[in-house]
C-alpha cells in the first residue's frame, strides 16, 4: 500500500464573512458576481460565495447576499443586511437613473449597519454610452463617505472582481498586509474537486475524512514554493491514476490518513504539527 502523507505546516487563517450586493434591477450586479444572469428567487435574495486567497493561503470566504430589487421584497431587506461586513452597490454607467438610485441603497445599508463600508461599481463600461459623469461620481463618493468606485465590463470582469475583493479585505482587515491575492478560477476549482474526490476517504480504514478546508488552503497557497511543488505532484498523480490502477491493481491505495490512522502509523497527533511544523 502506498500512502501519501501531508505532514503539515502552520495552517493559514480562515474567515467567513457576509457581504450585501445591491443595486437597481438591470444594473448588472448579478452578472458581476456570478458571471451570468440568474432568475429572481421567490425569497428576494440569492446567494453566491467568493473565496479569496491571500499570502500564505489565508482564506477570506465571502457569502454574498444578492438582493433582488422588487417592491414586494423591500420589507425583508433590513433583515438581509444584518451582520454584513461590507456592501457592494452596482449601477449601470449608461443609465443615469440607476446611479441616482444608489442613494436609496446607501440609506438602506446604513440604517441597518451604521458604519458599513460601501463600494460602488459602475457596470457595462464596454457599451460606450456613458451617461454618468466623473464629477457626479466623485461628488457621491465624498457626500456619502464611500470607500471607492470601480468600473467593470465584460472584458475585464475577472481582473476587476479580484481587485474589488482585495480592496474589501484591505478595508475590513486594516492591519493585514497583502503580498499575494487571487480568486480561484473555474479551472482551479475543477482541479481541486478532482483532488478532493480522490482524498475524501482514509486509505487505511476507509472512513470518510472530515472537511477538506485545510487541504483546499494548501492547494491554493501559491506563495509557498513547497506547497506549489506538492500541488503539482498531486495533479500529476491524478493525471496518472488510471495508469497506476492498471499497472498495480489492488496494490496501491492513495489518500490522506484520518487522524486516528495517522496516530497509529506515526504515534503522533497530526494536530500537534500545527504548532510544531
pLDDT in tens, the chain (277 residues): 333 344 444 566 889 999 999 999 889 988 888 776 556 667 889 999 998 989 877 889 999 999 998 888 899 999 999 999 999 999 999 999 999 999 999 999 999 999 999 999 999 998 888 899 999 999 999 999 999 999 999 888 889 999 999 999 999 999 999 988 988 876 666 667 666 776 777 777 877 776 555 666 666 766 667 777 777 777 777 677 666 666 666 666 667 777 778 777 777 655 544 444 4
| pLDDT computed for residue 207 by the predictor | 79
Domain boundaries, the chain: 14-172, 186-275
The structure's pTM equals 0.72
Say what the pLDDT of residue 259 is.
Answer: 74
CA gap 252, 234 in Å, rounded: 15
Give the residues across from 120 on adjacent strands: 89, 149
Q: What is the three-state SS of 71-135?
A: HHHHHHHHHHHCCCCEEEEEEECCCHHHHHCHHHHHHHHHHHCCCCCEEEEEECHHHCCCCCCHH
- Would you say 154 and 127 are in contact if contact means Cβ atoms under 8 Å apart? no
Burial letters 155-168, b for 16+ CB under 10 A, else e: eebeebbbebbbbb
Give the class (CATH, top level) of 14-172: alpha beta
Nearest Cα to Cα of residue 237 among 199, 270, 184: 199
Q: What are the cell numbers at 14?
A: 480562515
Contacts of 170-177 with CB under 8 Å at 24 or more apart are 171/86, 171/117, 171/147, 172/17, 172/85, 172/86, 172/117, 173/60, 176/54, 176/58
CA distances from 169 to 60, 117, 173 (A): 8, 11, 6
Alpha helices in 113-256 (DSSP H): 134-143, 157-172, 186-198, 213-219, 225-239, 241-247
- Count CB neighbours of 210 within 10 A: 10
Name the DSSP letter for residue 147: -
Do 58 and 14 form a contact (C-beta atoms < 8 A)?
A: yes
Amino acid at each position: 500500500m502506498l500512502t501519501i502523507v501531508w505532514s503539515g505546516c502552520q495552517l493559514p487563517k480562515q474567515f467567513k464573512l457576509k457581504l450585501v450586493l445591491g443595486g437597481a434591477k438591470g444594473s448588472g450586479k448579478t452578472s458581476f458576481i456570478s458571471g451570468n444572469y440568474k432568475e429572481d428567487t421567490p425569497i428576494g435574495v440569492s446567494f453566491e460565495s467568493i473565496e479569496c486567497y491571500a499570502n500564505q493561503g489565508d482564506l477570506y470566504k465571502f457569502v454574498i447576499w444578492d438582493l433582488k430589487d422588487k417592491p414586494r421584497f423591500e420589507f425583508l431587506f433590513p433583515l438581509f443586511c444584518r451582520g454584513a461586513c461590507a456592501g457592494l452597490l452596482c449601477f449601470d454607467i449608461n443609465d443615469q437613473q440607476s446611479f441616482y438610485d444608489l442613494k436609496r441603497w446607501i440609506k438602506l445599508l446604513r440604517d441597518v449597519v451604521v458604519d458599513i463600508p460601501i463600494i460602488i461599481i459602475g457596470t457595462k463600461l464596454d457599451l460606450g454610452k456613458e451617461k454618468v459623469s466623473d464629477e457626479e461620481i466623485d461628488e457621491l463618493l465624498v457626500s456619502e463617505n464611500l470607500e471607492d468606485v470601480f468600473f467593470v465590463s465584460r472584458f475585464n470582469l475577472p481582473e476587476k472582481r479580484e481587485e474589488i475583493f482585495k480592496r474589501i479585505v484591505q478595508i475590513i482587515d486594516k492591519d493585514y498586509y497583502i503580498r499575494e491575492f487571487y480568486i480561484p478560477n473555474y479551472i482551479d476549482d475543477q482541479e481541486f474537486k478532482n483532488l478532493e474526490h480522490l482524498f475524501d476517504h482514509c486509505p487505511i480504514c476507509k472512513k470518510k475524512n472530515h472537511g477538506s478546508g485545510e487541504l483546499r488552503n494548501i492547494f491554493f497557497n501559491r506563495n509557498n514554493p513547497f506547497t506549489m511543488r506538492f500541488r503539482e505532484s498531486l495533479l500529476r498523480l491524478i493525471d496518472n491514476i488510471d495508469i497506476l490502477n492498471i499497472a498495480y491493481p489492488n496494490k496501491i491505495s492513495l489518500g490522506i490518513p484520518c487522524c486516528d490512522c495517522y496516530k497509529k502509523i506515526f504515534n503522533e497527533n497530526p494536530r500537534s504539527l500545527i504548532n510544531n511544523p
